Structures are given as C-alpha cells and as structure tokens.
Amino acid sequence: MNIELLKKYQELDKNYSEFSEKVKNTEQYINYENSLKDFSKKQKEIQDTKEEIKRLCASLPECEEKKNTIQLSLDDIQSKVSQALTLDEVDNIYKKIKKIEDDIYDLMNYEKCLNKLILCEDKNKDNFNQLIFLNKECKSLRDEFGSIYNQSKDVFLKPIETEMKNLCSQLTKEEIATYESLKNSVEKYPYIVDYDGEFCGGCGEDISSEVTKFFTSKDVTCRCPRCQRLLYLK
C-alpha cells in the first residue's frame, strides 16, 4: 500500500472539505440560508391560514337560512301571543322565544366567524405578496452566492481537484476504496497515522501489546483497535 500517496490524498481531501465549510460561513451563504428559512416559514404560515379559513368556512351556519328561520318564528309568535289562553300555550311561546334567542346567538357567532374569515383572507393576501418578494430575494441571493462560489472554486478548488485526480491515477482501486472506508469508519481526521511502536498517532492510546506483532516490516499496515485509523510504521 502506497502510504505516502494516501497521506497526500487525505491532506488534499481535508483542504477540499475545509473549503466547503468555509463557504458555509460566508456572509453571502448565511444570508441565502436565512432567506430560505424565511421563505419556508412564510409558506407554512400561508398553509396554516388556509387551514384556518377552511375550518371557519366549515363552522359557519347558513346565514340567510338562519335569518329566514328567525323571521318565520317571530311571525308565528306574533300571531299566537294574542290567542294564547292556557299556560301550556304560554309555555310553548316561551320555548319558541328561547329558541329564537339561541338562533340569534348563532347568527352573532356567524358574524364573528365571518369577520375572522375576512381577516384571514386579507392576511393571506399579504402573505402571498411577501412570499413573492422572498422568492425574488432568494433567487437574487442564490445568484450572488453562486457567482462568488464559482469564482472561489476556480481559484481554490480546481487546483486541489486536479492534484487529487492525478494522485488517483497513481493509486490502485483497492487503495482508494480503503481510504473511502476509513473516512466512513473513523470518527475524525486524520484517517492515516503513524505508529511509533507503542502509541497510535491518532488517538494516542498505547496499543503495543495488540498490534506490534503485525508489523513485520515497514510495508505492513493495520487498523488501530481503539480508533480504527490506519497505522503505518514511521
């Protein structure tokens, strides 16, 4: 296994990853991410208001039907009040009046729901206008960030990509596969470290009793039993 080439490859890979992390900390990227969050938040707000409108519409009674019912009940009571002779008839009229009061209360609730519905619809109109604005802002910030990123990529990443590609041509498929496996199994960089015959160059643990027997020559490598890094003799 070509340890020296793999060490160079891991260093270049680290520089590549660090560039991506630095990009995420730029003002342009942060502004773009914040704009996307505002956009998503506004979308959710619109959806929530739509649901509220739907709920209000479902809870509204038929206004005209309710008004007609009340008017008919009033007309009926007026015709019977002067004719009421018995206590039962008077009690029946009283019950009808209570029913009208309940219907009027429902009608008042209808008016409240209707006013709330109008407010929700007005709110969603404003939200849609804000959403359009946020969408334009997201696109503008994305284009600004994209332009800066592409310029930076040409300056910093392309030379790294070229050198990594050159190293890949000198490494075997098995060596590249080993490196990728290390990236996935080792907790953090570096993945390939030296072994001085006693301590792991990554985690610093004394592993001499467990791995020394495997190092019969400098061409031999093995994994640290503690951190899983690839070890090689200095």
What would the mean pLDDT of 71-78 be, rounded to a whole number?
64
Tell me how far apart the alpha carbons of residues 174 and 224 are, in angstroms, rounded to a whole number. 19
In this structure, what is the dihedral angle of CA atoms 161, 31, 127, 133, given to the nearest 10 degrees?
Answer: -80
pLDDT at residue 17 greater than cutoff 70: yes
What are the residue boundaries of the structural domains of the chain, listed by start? Answer: 22-157
**Contact present, 152 and 1 (Cβ < 8 Å):** no
Question: What is the reported pLDDT for 185?
Answer: 92
Tell me how far apart the alpha carbons of residues 220 and 234 are, in angstroms, rounded to a whole number. 11
Give 196 or 68, the one with higher predicted confidence. Answer: 196
Per-residue pLDDT of 181-220, as tens digits, reads 999 999 899 999 999 889 999 999 999 888 888 887 778 8
Question: What is the reported pLDDT for 215?
Answer: 84
Question: What is the reported pLDDT for 75?
Answer: 66
Per-residue pLDDT of 113-149, as tens digits, reads 677 778 888 888 888 888 889 889 888 988 888 888 8
pLDDT at residue 10 greater than cutoff 90: yes
Given pLDDT bands bounded at 50, 70 and 90, which one contains residue 104? low
pLDDT at residue 224 greater than cutoff 90: yes
Average pLDDT score, the chain: 82
The pTM of this model reads 0.54
Report how far apart, in Å, the C-alpha atoms of 109 and of each of 53, 60, 61, 103 are: 15, 8, 9, 10
**Any idea which of 105-109, 197-201, 221-225 has the lowest mean pLDDT?**
105-109
Q: Above pLDDT 90, what percent of the chain?
A: 29
Contacts of 47 (CB under 8 A, 6+ apart): none
Report how far apart, in Å, the C-alpha atoms of 219 and of each of 4, 141, 155, 209, 234 are: 11, 52, 37, 20, 10
Question: What is the reported pLDDT for 192?
Answer: 95
* Paired sense of beta strands 221-223 and 230-233, if any: antiparallel
Tell me how far apart the alpha carbons of residues 56 and 48 are, in angstroms, rounded to a whole number. 12
Question: What is the reported pLDDT for 71?
Answer: 65
Report how far apart, in Å, the C-alpha atoms of 63 and of each of 71, 75, 107, 114 are: 12, 19, 7, 10
**Contact present, 165 and 8 (Cβ < 8 Å):** no
Q: Above pLDDT 70, what percent of the chain?
A: 76
